[in-house]
Structure 1
Amino acid sequence: MAVAQEVLEDLVRPWNVQVNSTTALAAAVADAAAKDDKERREEDREPLRRKAGLRALPSAEVGQSFTLTPWEILHALGRAQVLSRQGAGRGLAEHWGCLKYCQALEGSTGRYMALSEEGLNPRRHYKTVQSGELGIGFALTVAERVLKQRYPDHVVSVVDADIALQAGWALVGKEVKRRDWVSLRPDFLLEAWKPGQPSKVIPLACKGTHSKPSYVHTQLASASARVEALHIGPWDQTPTLVTSTELLGQGGISVHVLHAPGDGSLTVQPDAPGADLPVEDLNIYPDVCIPGDGDEDDERVSGFQVLPDRYAWFRSVLVRAGAAGLMGFTGGGEPTARYLTKRQGRRHFEGFTHAGTGIVQDVEQEIGGINFVGTDHVFRLNGTRVEAFSGLAENLFDLLRDGRVEEYRREAHAMRPRWRSLRGQHDWDGPVSVREDGSVMAMQLLPEPPRRRRRRLSSV
């Protein structure tokens, strides 16, 4: 039990995570992109369209490091995975997959975060899976910090780009798979929102690697093509972020990040339908309009573009997909399904599969004087029984359960100061992470149940 307790304490111990966002990095990525384009031409392949103007973040938005805890990184990863539907069994909570990294991160000399001995053990984690998933956790945590500097009075929500885009474009099927552009899309859409103001939408492409530092440049060059595929409003006016997390960097884990400036606002008329109403799947033609120079004609290229006449629809898609993720994080199937369209996978969350997978929000916990509703997962950590809990503040849960997602946003935004005061000051005996969307992830030790002595079989 002492070992498990130490693991839980380490999960909320703050460590520095190095952040690299420099003009030198931008130049190296541009060189990697040029090299890839040259190789494609030599092989008679079309060079990729890439986001122009990738550059270092302003010093006001990022320094040389951020102070993070492993638990908030795992919370970000869990929230990102909740609608992924990658698990082996339908009805099982996807987000608990983040718990396999409970002992993968630790502090190194100089108080920088690094992979632990278990994290470096290839028998425990496939390197590709580990770098991809931890790359998501670090990317989202760092991106959220950056956007909080950029939009300090906004809440940042994360939506799986596939979930959002599926409501307007077909992304699966035999015919679709033959189109090369389908695989080129962002990993996530970050929405910075404040009630009464236009949302800001920032596409994010993120990767992770155990390889040498030069591979980071290749990953970021590839990511530049993924974010170029989506445009909110006119071409090349959408702000973007690209990241590559280097897990074996000198001195610990490093997050390499570049951005392209832009507006990305979803300006919606006051009389437009709100997100409380269901949205319909659309069939938008998959192209982007690139304006011609001077007297030249506009060029139509493959990709995804949301024009002003569909801003209200796309805002509702993002808001409702975010609500679906929150309800999935609390363990509910039917409450999650109500916020998704048919193409987004509503059927996956409807109905029961078998006994034990249809439990809906069956746990209540009080943390720091706030009641949370959600679900739990009991497992053994180094032989010790522990309970992981994920949920949503009860008042916010009630609003989403009843379909009042616009009121949820107003209430969640108003509660931001309360979340800040809760961090590090609570009565829960274990790690706790609370995000500004009202979601919580916590873990604690459980007492061992009384054991019955196993009866020995007598020999015949």
Structure 2
Amino acid sequence: MCSTRDSSETAPCLLSAGQRRSRPYYFAEVRRPGEPSLVIPLAYKGNHSDSVTSAEQPASASAHAEAVHIGRWSETPGLLFSTQLPTDGGTMTVHALQAPGSGGRSYPAEGREANLDAKPAQENVMSDIRPPTEGPVAPEPVRGRHVQPKDYAWFRGSPAHATAAGLMAFTGSGHAIARHLTDRQGRKRFTGLEHAADMSIQDAAHVLFGNEYVGAGHVFRLNGPRVEAFSGMDEDVFRLLARGDVEEYRALVRASRHVRPRLTFDEGWGGPVSVHADGSVFALRLLPEQDRDAMSRLRGA
């Protein structure tokens, strides 16, 4: 599961880990209030070779993106990427290929509008993609997953809850993560005892740029000096997701998307701080009484 931005959110693939078949690596959700979300399957490859290799990789990546159809047959848009990273230290190049389409939107069905504040539902979506029938004999199904209108209400909630679970993982709050997962996604893994020896736990709170953030603290060595890292979320955003107010969280993130992002040195914290539009934060600082030269290097990072 992945991070979220203002206009897009990502969700885990619909296929279970036990099924050995192609599937998208991510779903990007582009949303606007009052309109059905546009969900785009993403697939990517990478290489340390040349542009010839990069030209071939979108073809193999397309099998992953096309493994899920949302709406009408063969109308789901997709994004394919091939990242070229030379071994000689040259410039990294990202090749992108867009597959246009009129599908990908989970239009609400009458009487089945999604309630994002409800706990995620564990649906059993039938396997296989079914091409349209153009004659007396129905064509053979194609391997993959086909999200059809009857599944739209469930599918709309999947990216929202997966994103919420990912953000809660960033704070280390196991019980808040479990609130947004189904049993098949591993909900029970986060409902037991939370202990620092077993996992990152929500055990820290800091004021950064005048705002309260809650999350998890970590200490490690960075080329010798001991460094403290803090990952967390804006306290107000955290409270919303912890109690399941996903709709209000999404509205808050959209309203603050232009003012929240920040990347600079916070003198009060004593190190660089990165705040994202979704309310998540990551901060670094040297532990007290560390070498001043190391502090200068951290400030200039």
Which of the five TM-score ranges fits, normalised by the shorter chain? 0.7 to 0.9
Residues 232-277 of structure 1: per-residue CA shift (max 9 Å, x gap): 1011211111111111178411111101012411222585241111
**Letter of the structure 1 residue corresponding to residue 9 of structure 2:** S
| Pair 1:403-2:241 in alignment | no
| Pair 1:242-2:89 in alignment | no
| Pair 1:368-2:209 in alignment | yes
Alignment counterpart, residue 170 of structure 2, candidates 329, 333, 342:
329
For residue 118 of structure 2, give the secondary structure of its aligned residue in structure 1.
Answer: coil
TM-score normalised to the size of structure 2? 0.85
Q: How does 1:173-192 map to 2 (within 5 A)?
A: 176=19, 182-192=20-30
* 8 Å contact kept, 1:365–1:371: yes
For residue 303 of structure 1, give the secondary structure of its aligned residue in structure 2.
Answer: strand
**Letter of the structure 2 residue corresponding to residue 195 of structure 1:** P
Question: How many angstroms does 1:332 deviate by?
Answer: 1.2
* 8 Å contact kept, 2:229–2:284: yes
Separation in structure 2 between the aligned mates of residue 230 and residue 352 of structure 1, nearest angstrom:
37
Separation in structure 2 between the aligned mates of residue 225 and residue 358 of structure 1, nearest angstrom:
35
1:266 corresponds to = 106
Separation in structure 1 between the aligned mates of residue 110 and residue 63 of structure 2, nearest angstrom:
35
| Pair 1:252-2:252 in alignment | no
1:199 corresponds to = 37
Higher strand share: 2
**Letter of the structure 2 residue corresponding to residue 321 of structure 1:** A
1:300 corresponds to = 141
2:281 corresponds to = 440
1:158 corresponds to = 10
* 8 Å contact kept, 1:376–1:390: yes
| CA RMSD in angstroms, aligned pairs only | 2.7
Question: How many angstroms does 1:436 deviate by?
Answer: 2.0
Separation in structure 2 between the aligned mates of residue 220 and residue 306 of structure 1, nearest angstrom:
23
Separation in structure 1 between the aligned mates of residue 194 and residue 271 of structure 2, nearest angstrom:
33
**Letter of the structure 2 residue corresponding to residue 252 of structure 1:** T
Separation in structure 1 between the aligned mates of residue 109 and residue 271 of structure 2, nearest angstrom:
46
Residues 332-383 of structure 1: per-residue CA shift (max 9 Å, x gap): 1111011111111112222127553366421112222222111122110010
In the alignment, structure 1 segments of 5+ residues that lack a partner are: 1-78, 83-139, 145-153, 177-181, 450-460
2:296 corresponds to = none
Separation in structure 2 between the aligned mates of residue 396 and residue 429 of structure 1, nearest angstrom:
24
* 8 Å contact kept, 2:217–2:229: yes
Higher relative contact order (CA 8 A, sep 6+): 1
* 8 Å contact kept, 1:324–1:336: yes
Between the aligned residues of both structures, percent identity stands at 44
* 8 Å contact kept, 2:127–2:143: yes
In the alignment, structure 2 segments of 5+ residues that lack a partner are: 291-301
TM-score normalised to the size of structure 1? 0.57
Question: How many angstroms does 1:315 deviate by?
Answer: 0.9
Alignment counterpart, residue 211 of structure 1, candidates 49, 69, 74:
49
Higher helix share: 1
Alignment counterpart, residue 180 of structure 2, candidates 339, 354, 372:
339
Q: How does 1:371-382 map to 2 (within 5 A)?
A: 371-382=212-223
Separation in structure 2 between the aligned mates of residue 284 and residue 402 of structure 1, nearest angstrom:
28
1:356 corresponds to = 197
Which is worse superposed, 393-402 or 286-295?
286-295
**Letter of the structure 2 residue corresponding to residue 265 of structure 1:** R
**Letter of the structure 2 residue corresponding to residue 307 of structure 1:** Q
Residues 82-132 of structure 1: per-residue CA shift (max 9 Å, x gap): 9xxxxxxxxxxxxxxxxxxxxxxxxxxxxxxxxxxxxxxxxxxxxxxxxxx
| Pair 1:419-2:271 in alignment | no
Separation in structure 1 between the aligned mates of residue 22 and residue 100 of structure 2, nearest angstrom:
20
Question: How many angstroms does 1:316 deviate by?
Answer: 1.1
Separation in structure 2 between the aligned mates of residue 409 and residue 369 of structure 1, nearest angstrom:
22
* 8 Å contact kept, 1:292–1:299: no
| Pair 1:230-2:84 in alignment | no
* 8 Å contact kept, 1:195–1:409: no
Question: How many angstroms does 1:171 deviate by?
Answer: 4.1
